[in-house]
Amino acid sequence: MTRTLPFMAMLVFAAIALVLWQATGRAFYLYNFGYIGLAIGLGMWLYMKLPRRQRYIGRRVAQFLVGSYMLLFLGVIARENMQIEGFFLYALSGYFAGSVIHYLVAKIFGPLLFGRGWCGWSCWTAMVLDLLPFRKPKPQQGHSHWGNLRYAHFALSLGLVAFLWWGKGYRIQEQSAAELTWLLAGNAAYYASGIGLAFLLRQNRAFCQYLCPIPTLQKLPARLSLLKVAGLAERCRGCGACNRACPMALDVRSFAQRGQRVLSTECIFCLECIDACPYDALTVTCQVELPTPRPGSQPAVKTQERGASPRAPSSP
């Protein structure tokens, strides 16, 4: 399955480009989503071709090609408010373009296919945070409740938009200095808090794990994602290399030892765990996932990675 990811990415975004072009008559969508699909496809192709220890470079290439395009071209040059508040405001305005389409594709419906792959391969905030020196975080003790901060952040953003829309009569001013100011101020706050949290907790992705409001939209569809990292229990030796490599500090090993897919909605599909495993006990599978499997149970439907050794049936 991993070998087909570059072509799947290009095909999916090409289909989105064609549908939006036919629906709106705007050829811009052919360029926009065609470019994004090619950028992610190139990054995944490099991931496949580079030596194991250098595969992360492919993901970084995709991050910078997509992230800088969306932040600098769509955001700064085209003056599109790509922040979550911009999405709320554009949606309230009935403006089906720019920020709304981005959120629908990358953060609401897209996760049904690729989970939180946006966070791993395209986010312009994470493309900077991943350059920090804390690539392999240790599991954080006593910080589990910090994850509630993202919901508070989401509620504050939504509340601010509601106050401005109904209380102050604020309306979107397309491609204006106001939207550009909102974009720049919002991103400056994200970068400052993200870098600060990374150094405080010694974890590059602490902002993603605790404070970013975007997973509030992504987590439900990501739980049902077709594409997920999966463990091959017969190959897992429990060495913990996957856990040490995970930028989100997930317990990937527990899923691998049970032969399960990684069901955590904190997974950003970065594939770092696959690269780190010395026994090839992790792979990528595509299947329909039941919404509420029992803890520790095997998935109801399983796929076999091409070339993988079949798992022996368990004793009754």
Is residue 134, in this structure, part of any structural domain at all? yes
**Residues 190, 206: one domain?**
yes
Q: Scan for tokens 């953060």, then name that residue.
A: 107
Residue 123 has pLDDT above 80, yes or no: yes
Element (H, E) at 219: helix 215-223
- Alpha-carbon distance 316 to 313, whole Å? 9
Note the pLDDT of residue 143.
65
Domain that holds residue 29: 1-77
- Residue 310 in tokens: 């079949």
Reported as a pLDDT band with limits 50, 70 and 90, residue 303 is very low
Is residue 315, in this structure, part of any structural domain at all? no
| Region label for 238, one of left (φ > 0), alpha (ψ between -120 and 50) or beta (otherwise) | left
**Residues 158, 131: one domain?**
yes
Is residue 111, in this structure, part of any structural domain at all? yes
**Residues 86, 215: one domain?**
yes
Reported as a pLDDT band with limits 50, 70 and 90, residue 39 is very high
**Residues 133, 177: one domain?**
yes
Question: b/e map of 170-193 (b: 16 or more CB within 10 Å)?
Answer: eebebeeeebbebbeebbeebeeb
Boundary of a domain, candidates 60, 77, 94:
77
Give the model confidence (pLDDT) of 251-265 as tens digits.
999 999 999 999 999
Phi, psi of 270 (to 5 degrees): -80, -20
- Residue 168 in tokens: 């102050």
Collapse the DSSP code of 261 into the 3-class scheme (helix H, G, I; strand E, B; otherwise coil) and give the result. Answer: strand
**Residues 212, 273: one domain?**
no
Is residue 213, in this structure, part of any structural domain at all? yes
Give the model confidence (pLDDT) of 196-216 as tens digits.
999 999 999 999 999 999 999
**Residues 134, 243: one domain?**
no
Note the pLDDT of residue 301.
41
Furthest C-alpha separation in the chain: 67
Is residue 180, in this structure, part of any structural domain at all? yes
**Residues 234, 203: one domain?**
no
Note the pLDDT of residue 289.
76
Residue 57 has pLDDT above 50, yes or no: yes
Closest to 236 measured CA to CA, from 308, 133, 140: 308
Boundary of a domain, candidates 219, 246, 261:
219
Residue 310 has pLDDT above 80, yes or no: no
**Residues 104, 197: one domain?**
yes
Q: What whole-number percentage of the chain has pLDDT above 90?
A: 69
**Residues 61, 160: one domain?**
no
Reported as a pLDDT band with limits 50, 70 and 90, residue 79 is confident
Residue type, 233: A
Residue 131 has pLDDT above 60, yes or no: yes
**Residues 32, 133: one domain?**
no
Note the pLDDT of residue 261.
94
Burial class (CB in 10 A: 0-12, 13-18, 19+), 51: exposed
Is residue 142, in this structure, part of any structural domain at all? yes
Average pLDDT over residues 43-67: 93
Boundary of a domain, candidates 49, 77, 105:
77
Residue 4 has pLDDT above 60, yes or no: yes
Is residue 308, in this structure, part of any structural domain at all? no
**Residues 122, 148: one domain?**
yes
Note the pLDDT of residue 229.
96
Note the pLDDT of residue 141.
55
- From residue 145, alpha-carbon distances to 36, 141, 262, 265 in Å are 35, 10, 21, 16
- What contacts 289, CB < 8 A, 6 or more positions away? 223, 224, 225, 226, 228, 261, 263, 299
- Calculate the average pLDDT of the chain: 87
Burial class (CB in 10 A: 0-12, 13-18, 19+), 159: exposed
Reported as a pLDDT band with limits 50, 70 and 90, residue 2 is low
Is residue 195, in this structure, part of any structural domain at all? yes
Strands (E), 192-274: 227-231
- What contacts 300, CB < 8 A, 6 or more positions away? 290, 293
Task: Please report, for the domain that includes residue 267, its CATH number.
Answer: 3.30.70.20
pTM: 0.85
Note the pLDDT of residue 312.
39
**Residues 190, 237: one domain?**
no
Note the pLDDT of residue 44.
93
Q: Domains in the chain: how many in total?
A: 3
- Alpha-carbon distance 195 to 203, whole Å? 9
